[in-house]
Amino acid sequence: MRAHKNVLAFVMAGGEGSRLHPLTADRCKPAVPFNGKHRIVDFVLSNLVNSEIYSVYLLVQYKSQSLIEHVRQSWTMTRFIPQHFITVVPPQMRHGREWFQGTADAVAQNIHLIESFRPDIVAVFGADHIYRMDVRQMIDFHVRSDAQASVATLPVRLDQCDQFGIVEVDDRHRIVEFKEKPRATRPMPGSRTHALASMGNYIFNADVLLKVLRRMRDSGDSDFGKHILPSMVNTHKLVAYDFDTNIIPGTEPYEEQGYWRDVGTIDAYYEAHFDTLGAAPKFRLTNRQWPIYASSEPAESAQIENGIINRSVVGSGSVIDGASLDHAMLRRSVHVERSARLEHCIVMERSRIGRGAQVRRAIIDQDNDVPPMERIGFDLEQDRKRFHVSEGGIVVVPAGYFPPRAHGSSFIPREFDSGAETVHQRQEALA
């Protein structure tokens, strides 16, 4: 497998993430934290960099400030190699005063970037999923197939088809039909229960993509899945790349092969976290041969005074003082006080769980000081009066809902604790 040097990548990072509310109240979906140190966007960027694709434009739109700050701090590329960059691109409004109207429109509004870079291949990838993928293998398949566009695909249950773009293929992997989120569809060849779904990751020959984007300005089409790819089925050679054939070095036998999760809902986001826990997880984040890069952490190492901890992640700068953690995932600078209990919880940055508090099946967003003896996740009817509760019964406490107690300034880093700003005023920058 060779490195494809003349590849330009666009990452669609403008998602509003309304189904992830309130986690997306002050940040866009790709900027939502994941696991102990990561953001959702880190997965697609890591896959591209590990695949030796270093020329990346990140197209942003909604509530993008925290994502911009994260990329600036964590994804800097050397200035001595001009074609090595990860650059954030907001709507430029070069052809009008409209924001991005869809995925294809986002690329079309930045067509000048393709024209100036002059790539052979353009990769258009989503920023909303948890997975590992060697993109070079998909490009090799695209070239061998003499395709003009390729779509990464994987099987999904028939009752989930209305959530994905569904493709039908012939025996040579050529796409003969592309439907965006159909209510019903035929099963894929060789199965009665599954259909072939698009992952939202595409490879295009650059010359073909440029022609399509220029034509779409007059047609009013705006989205790859809804408009562009279905219209190309009869005029271009489109092929389906089987994601299950993608081989990642360092994958352990106990991991779920072809692991991929769309974390677009609270329940899916919550469940994907716990796929990473344990000695034999479904998806192991510590693969040294294919790392998922994360932000550098300025905080000190975690400190555990004492307590009972079972299958949990404790982020840097956190303190566990005589508490009980069972399937808990703590990001950085979280303080869990004596006799508190966390069960199947996600707790984000700079939060404190007070003495004797009990929290289960919940997501505590950043900058929360949960009071002593508080109970969350035990009475969902009462919880709904204060918080968002997902269909699966996951309680989500918004960022800054519980204000700091008298001692509270100690657990907010000093660099963020000056002046007259409140936690709410600086959530956009800290999210």
- The confidence score (pLDDT) of residue 313 equals 95
Mean pLDDT, contiguous 10-residue spans, the chain (431 residues): 74 86 93 93 96 94 89 75 82 59 83 95 96 98 97 94 92 92 88 93 97 81 84 95 97 96 96 95 95 79 92 94 97 96 97 98 98 98 97 97 71 33 40 54
CATH architecture of 7-262: Alpha-Beta Complex (3.90)
Structure tokens at 102: 């869809």
CA dihedral angle for residue 114, residue 133, residue 345, residue 333, rounded to 10 degrees:
-60
Are 60 and 12 in contact by the 8 Å Cβ rule? The answer is no
Is 180 one of the annotated binding-site residues? yes
Is 46 one of the annotated binding-site residues? no
Q: Where are the beta strands (DSSP E) in 293-417?
A: 303-310, 313-314, 319-330, 335-336, 341-347, 352-353, 358-364, 369-370, 375-376, 388-389, 395-397
Share of residues in the chain with pLDDT > 70 (%): 88
Structure tokens at 339: 């006799």
Q: What is the pLDDT of residues 362-396, one digit of tens each?
A: 999 999 999 999 999 999 999 999 999 999 999 99
- The confidence score (pLDDT) of residue 258 equals 93
- The confidence score (pLDDT) of residue 124 equals 97
Question: Comparing 7-262 with 303-430, is the CATH topology the same?
Answer: no
Is 165 one of the annotated binding-site residues? yes
DSSP string, 53-85: --EEEEEE-TT-HHHHHHHHHH----TTSTT-E
- The confidence score (pLDDT) of residue 407 equals 56
Looking at residue 277, its amino acid is: L
Which class is 303-430 in CATH? Answer: mainly beta
Please enumerate in sequence order all residues whose Cβ is within 8 A of that of 180, keeping only pairs 6 or more positions apart, or say none.
165, 166, 223, 225, 226, 230
pTM: 0.89
Structure tokens at 351: 């939060």
Are 330 and 336 in contact by the 8 Å Cβ rule? The answer is yes
> Which sign does the torsion angle of CA 393, 399, 405, 410 carry?
positive
Q: Which residues of 205-222 are buried (b: 16+ CB within 10 A; e: fewer)?
A: bbebbbebbeebeeeebb
Is 198 one of the annotated binding-site residues? yes
- The confidence score (pLDDT) of residue 91 equals 73
- The confidence score (pLDDT) of residue 64 equals 87
Structure tokens at 292: 């998922």
Give CA–CA dist 37/29, Å, rounded.
16
Q: What is the pLDDT of residues 247-256, one digit of tens each?
A: 999 999 999 9
User: Which sequence spans correspond to the domains of the chain?
Assistant: 7-262, 303-430
